[in-house]
Amino acid sequence: MDATMPRTKAQGMTRIELYVPTALFSEAEELAEFEGWKLSELHRVFWENGFGIYVERSNKRMINKRLREKISPDVANQGEEE
């Protein structure tokens, strides 16, 4: 399988290149082949799951910051001014 995003004629799509460790990608290719996925499906899984984790962590940080601000605004803003 090719390590770059597959070419597509779909409109409204953005090409993104990702760099992952070769061993991890090899394992992912094996799993995709076993599951009968196309390469584009494998890339979509990586992208969506990675983005989902980012959003979840971002939301947790935002909530944590808001809770700290309720306790003490000075404590919550430490490190942001540096």
**Whether pLDDT at 76 is above 60:** no
Q: What is the pTM of this model?
A: 0.47
Per-residue pLDDT tens over the stretch 1-37? 555 656 666 667 677 777 888 998 888 889 889 989 8
Distance in Å from the first CA to the final CA of the chain: 45
What's the pLDDT score for residue 9? 66
Rounded to whole angstroms, the Cα distance separating 38 from 56 reads 27
Tokens 């959003």 identify what position?
55
Structure tokens at 41: 């499906």
Task: Give the rounded percent of residues in the chain with a pLDDT score beyond 90.
Answer: 2
> In terms of C-beta distances under 8 Å and separation of at least 24 residues, what long-range contacts does 52-58 make, across chains too?
none
